[in-house]
Structure 1
Amino acid sequence: MATALRLAVYLLLLAGGRGINVKVTQDVVEASLRGDIRLGCNYQTTHDERKNLFITWSKIIPDKEEDVTVILFQGKPYVMKDYEGRVEFVGGWNEGVADILLHNLNNEDNGDYTCAVTNVPDIEGHDTDTVQLIVLVPPSLPKISTSGAPELGGDIVLTCKSDEGAPKPQYFWKRLEEPDKEVAMPPKVVSDADAGTLTMKNLSLQSHNGIYQCTSKNKMGELSSDYQLTVSYPKSNALLYMGAMAGGVLLLILIIVVVVCCVRRRNRKNIDDNYSMTEEYRRDDKSPIPPGHQDFDPRDGNDEDRNLNYVDKDEHYDERSDHRYTDGYDRHRDNGDRNNDRRRDDFDRRRDDYDRRRDDNYHDDDRRRENYGRDDSSGDDRRREDYGRGREDYGRGREDYGRGREDYGRGREDYDRGREDYGRGRDNYGRGRDNYGRGREDYDRGREDYDSRDESYSNDDHPRRTRSQESLVDDQDKYSETNPRRTHSRENLDENAPSNRSNNVPKPPLKPKKILDDDVRDVEV
């Protein structure tokens, strides 16, 4: 009953409403990652009361039917659980300001936000407006994927994509010959900056091999990744080469079989010739019958009977030998002819199979040659020249590598010798420091001993110093009292004074007068 009454009151208020107008301050707002942003929303209402004021900020999720509420106001603000501590109302909602402040933005905050305001009974009019928030995120390191096989004459698509980046980055491709040297793109190459794709068709060894660099760029920064494209021959060519090798092996086997058959046939002919010569020799030969075939007694002296027996045995032996050798040879020749016929038939069949396979291979080569470049007749020559230059570069590189290893070895030896010298120098320095320390300690102990002796000696109470002074005074007194020479000298000093000198004291002798030259001349005269 109470619910129905409230619903009726609400419908009456709706019927008596006069209108509301909601407007965001900016349609698109950009902010940096982990920064703060203020989303402005102003509303105007013709109803002065704010008791039934209801403000809602929600985020539009494209994959969901309902929007996700961020914060709402109904008498007081309420923050949803997922946005606690990150969103708050700013401004005065009673003064027509419904701004919110988002803190610590992340990549998931990108999207459209709706500001909805109702103030019953003023509910008619434009009560919602939407603002787009773009969190500026620098692009992440792009990843390059391929579609298609890099084979000669084939097509390939390189796709570059960054997992992160707002606004959506664009992708730019360039071809590098060296890590820092850009070269022109091959002909008939199509790139899409928005999708990040690079499409190449009819691949060739000379035009498409190289390093392709993709740069992912937006207003917050850019990052690049490289892809090494190496065009190879199709796998069907490898099967062709294997078939050719198998055909060559079969051909070699056939040649060996033919040679063996020819040799055996020639040997058989030699055997037949030797047999004919043997038969003729046996008919002409008159050698005696072997002892096993003789029926007469050798001790019998009848020569006529012995000769008759000899003739009969000889004829019987010749007849039996002719039948045995002739029948054996005929059978052997018949068997050999049949074997030769079978081998000849097998050889003809293998020859026919080989011819058919060779024709098929030739036809396949012609078709592949038509498909893989009728216009590139000099491709083999260029590949051969490239191969030669590559081998020369490889040889020079190996020589440089050998010289570098030798230089490294010499440098390593010099370094080891230097370390040994340095180690010996450090040992000598350590021993010198130890000797210096011991000498310093000895010097300090000697200085302390000297200072202690000096202090004790300078003290007046030192017994040795006291004894020395007393002995000196006593010696002076003894010398002045007992020494007769000292006493006589003092008495003479007193007597020789000018006032007290007596007549008895003799005068000192006069000094000799210097004789001059005039006096000498007078004496001589």
Structure 2
Amino acid sequence: MARLLGPLLYRALLGLICMTALGPAVEVHVPAEPLSTPVGKTAELTCSYSTSVTDNFALEWSFVQPGEPISAAHPILYFTNGHLYPTGSKAKRASLLQNPPTGGVATLKLSDVHLLDTGTYLCHVNNPPDFYTNGLGLINLTVLVAPSSPLCSQTGRISVGGSAALRCSSSEGAPKPVYNWIRLGSFPTPSPGSMVQDEVSGQLILTNLSVASSGTYRCVATNQMGSASCEMTLSVTDPSKGRVAGAVIGVLLGLLFLFVVALCLIRFQKERRRKPKETYWGSDLRYNKFFWAIQRVLPVGKE
């Protein structure tokens, strides 16, 4: 037993001596919660570390767009050999809270943030011979943007008994806006189930339409940065009323035609009586028969 403990104890002591000789591990500390900053403001991405700073100390900040792997990170700035080297598309807006960052604070300041700055930021501290951790901290940043003016549209059969879908969508907004449809003016409450909306997709479904469903509808897109709205006018038609109106118009046009014909015949009859009597042929006889047939429908006045 003693022979077995001897080699094990020796190896443990040897490992401890090696670790002491190589120095402590690099420890990087970043916030556990995601960071959010309004568009146009300055974001401070807090990063601190503990290590024994030597001449080999180096700091790197990089950025990964949402949905991309860490290996696809794009550099923002480097600090090495006592000098700071901003790089990449964010170089003009990136700086360090403390420069040089050799006092345990490696916080990054990013000014005038915009929507494309949303993503994951990597704080990487490298200090050979401290190799016991990767010296990496990740911070998720979300740039808050108010909803842009939404676009309203409609589809469906906009007539009595039909259904319609009103849609509303903003091209910008972070976090993603929620949508709420309201009907403007004072109208009776729609029957249950005839008006259903989805706050996530911005869709409003109207079923069993009636003429009373006509009106102006407003969609409001909202997030924690603000709100924007658009409006749409819905006009529900009644096909049955259109058919009745068409029939009435047809009857009126028919009566008007008969009235005009009667006036023309009356005028012609007056002109005829002023002329001397002449011999009429077969065509005149047919005309007289047509004239007396019209008189039965619309009596012709006498002088």
TM-score (norm 2): 0.63
* Among candidates 114, 123, 140, match of residue 115 of structure 1: 123
RMSD: 3.2
In 2, are the aligned partners of 1:110 and 1:133 still within 8 Å (CA)? yes
Aligned to 1:406: none
* Among candidates 24, 38, 60, match of residue 56 of structure 1: 60
Deviation at 1:103, TM superposition (A): 1.1
Deviation at 1:101, TM superposition (A): 0.8
Residues 447-480 of structure 1: CA deviation (Å, up to 9, x unaligned): xxxxxxxxxxxxxxxxxxxxxxxxxxxxxxxxxx
Aligned to 1:130: 138
Aligned to 1:217: 222
Q: 1:83 is aligned with what amino acid?
A: K
In 2, are the aligned partners of 1:216 and 1:224 still within 8 Å (CA)? yes
- Residue-pair matches, total: 222
User: Aligned partners of 2:68, 2:94: CA distance in 1, in Å?
Assistant: 22
User: Aligned partners of 1:192, 1:73: CA distance in 2, in Å?
Assistant: 50
Deviation at 1:97, TM superposition (A): 1.1
1:140 aligns with 2:148: yes
1:79 aligns with 2:83: no
Aligned to 1:341: none
User: Aligned partners of 1:186, 1:226: CA distance in 2, in Å?
Assistant: 22
User: Aligned partners of 2:188, 2:68: CA distance in 1, in Å?
Assistant: 48
User: Aligned partners of 2:66, 2:113: CA distance in 1, in Å?
Assistant: 20
Distance 1:79 1:227, change over 3 A: same
Deviation at 1:228, TM superposition (A): 0.8
User: Aligned partners of 1:183, 1:34: CA distance in 2, in Å?
Assistant: 45
Aligned to 2:203: 197
Aligned to 2:96: 89
In 1, are the aligned partners of 2:62 and 2:77 still within 8 Å (CA)? yes
Give the number of the structure with larger relative contact order, counting CA–CA contacts within 8 Å between residues 6 or more apart. 2
Residues 12-61 of structure 1: CA deviation (Å, up to 9, x unaligned): 99xx675322121462223222221211101122xx24333232222221
* Among candidates 153, 162, 176, match of residue 184 of structure 2: 176
Residues 346-405 of structure 1: CA deviation (Å, up to 9, x unaligned): xxxxxxxxxxxxxxxxxxxxxxxxxxxxxxxxxxxxxxxxxxxxxxxxxxxxxxxxxxxx
Between structure 1 and structure 2, the one with the greater Rg is 1
* Among candidates 134, 150, 159, match of residue 158 of structure 2: 150
Residues 93-140 of structure 1: CA deviation (Å, up to 9, x unaligned): 212211111111222222222222222221332522222222222221
Ranges in structure 1 where 5+ consecutive residues have no aligned partner = 1-11, 249-525
User: Aligned partners of 2:90, 2:232: CA distance in 1, in Å?
Assistant: 42
Q: 2:218 is aligned with what amino acid?
A: Q
Residues 219-250 of structure 1: CA deviation (Å, up to 9, x unaligned): 2222221111122357xx89x97xx99xx9xx
Deviation at 1:186, TM superposition (A): 5.0
Superposition pairs of residues 442-453 of structure 1, within 5 angstroms: none
User: Aligned partners of 1:21, 1:112: CA distance in 2, in Å?
Assistant: 19
Distance 1:154 1:183, change over 3 A: closer
Q: 2:95 is aligned with what amino acid?
A: E
1:22 aligns with 2:28: yes
* Among candidates 76, 85, 88, match of residue 70 of structure 1: 76
Matched residue SS, 1:134:
strand
Superposition pairs of residues 316-465 of structure 1, within 5 angstroms: none
Matched residue SS, 2:102:
helix
In 2, are the aligned partners of 1:175 and 1:183 still within 8 Å (CA)? no
Aligned to 1:369: none
Query: How many percent identity over aligned positions?
Result: 31
Residues 387-439 of structure 1: CA deviation (Å, up to 9, x unaligned): xxxxxxxxxxxxxxxxxxxxxxxxxxxxxxxxxxxxxxxxxxxxxxxxxxxxx
Which structure has more strand as a fraction of its residues?
Answer: 2
Superposition pairs of residues 287-298 of structure 1, within 5 angstroms: none
Matched residue SS, 1:94:
coil
Deviation at 1:159, TM superposition (A): 1.9
Which structure has more helix as a fraction of its residues?
Answer: 1
Distance 1:187 1:30, change over 3 A: same
Ranges in structure 2 where 5+ consecutive residues have no aligned partner = 1-17, 251-303
* Among candidates 140, 146, 163, match of residue 171 of structure 2: 163
Distance 1:97 1:146, change over 3 A: same
Deviation at 1:67, TM superposition (A): 2.0
User: Aligned partners of 1:196, 1:37: CA distance in 2, in Å?
Assistant: 31
In 2, are the aligned partners of 1:139 and 1:221 still within 8 Å (CA)? yes
Matched residue SS, 2:89:
helix
* Among candidates 223, 228, 234, match of residue 233 of structure 2: 228
Matched residue SS, 1:108:
helix
User: Aligned partners of 1:44, 1:148: CA distance in 2, in Å?
Assistant: 64
Distance 1:56 1:183, change over 3 A: farther
Distance 1:185 1:114, change over 3 A: farther
In 2, are the aligned partners of 1:50 and 1:94 still within 8 Å (CA)? no
In 2, are the aligned partners of 1:88 and 1:101 still within 8 Å (CA)? yes
Deviation at 1:63, TM superposition (A): 5.0
User: Aligned partners of 1:105, 1:173: CA distance in 2, in Å?
Assistant: 32
Aligned to 2:49: 43
Distance 1:17 1:229, change over 3 A: farther
Matched residue SS, 2:59:
strand
User: Aligned partners of 1:111, 1:191: CA distance in 2, in Å?
Assistant: 31
User: Aligned partners of 2:167, 2:137: CA distance in 1, in Å?
Assistant: 38
